[in-house]
Amino acid sequence: MPRFKYSRTGLDPDVTAKASGREMDISPKHAREICNAIKGLYIEQAISYLENVVEMKRSVPFKRYNRKVGHRSDLQGWHTGRYPVKAAGKILEVLHNLENNIEYKGLEMDRCRIIHSASHRGRKIKRMFTRAFGKSSPKNNTLAHVEFVVREV
């Protein structure tokens, strides 16, 4: 069984809280763009932002993985974006877990800001599916890890 660690260490445990989602069945590229979009927001702002993404009211700016991505009129300062509904829903679950960790530690919810949000590629699930004339092709699924750290400011 693997042992996971946070990529951000050496933080004061009295004013910080952490949460992570490991081996999540979401796109690592979508997870990267969502983590980049919510870094620096307060926890309540990030939760409401992702709820709007799930309802397809707000889009997530795609800054790195933006080839053949359409423009969105609701974005300010950037033009390409998408609505990664599945990834936003899974990351929203991790943020609710982070919210519970904040309450457990006794920190004030409205003063907690996301200081670290990262996503990493997880393991690949390798499968094969059959084709015509006795051939087969690979069907790989890449999982993703997501981690968040908040600090009370």
Mean per-residue pLDDT, 111-125: 96
Where b means 16+ CB within 10 Å and e means fewer, 102-118 reads: beebebeeeebebebbb
- 5 lies in some domain: no
- 9 lies in some domain: no
- 11 lies in some domain: no
> What's the number of domains the chain is made of?
1
- CATH number for the domain including 86? 3.90.470.10
Please say if the pLDDT value at position 1 is more than 70.
no
Global pTM reads: 0.93
- 69 lies in some domain: yes
| Phi, psi for residue 97 in degrees, rounded to 5 | -65, -40
Residue 95 exposed, middle or buried by CB count within 10 Å (0-12, 13-18, 19+): buried
Average model confidence (pLDDT) across the chain: 96
- 66 lies in some domain: yes
Please say if the pLDDT value at position 2 is more than 80.
no
Mean per-residue pLDDT, 44-62: 97
The reported pLDDT for the residue numbered 4 is: 86
- 7 lies in some domain: no
pLDDT, tens digit (0-9, with 9 covering 90-100), for 87-106: 999 999 999 999 999 999 99
List Cα–Cα distances, 37 to 3, 10, 31, in angstroms: 28, 24, 10
8 Å CB contact between 47 and 95: yes
Segments forming the whole domain that contains residue 127: 16-152
* SS3 call for 79: coil
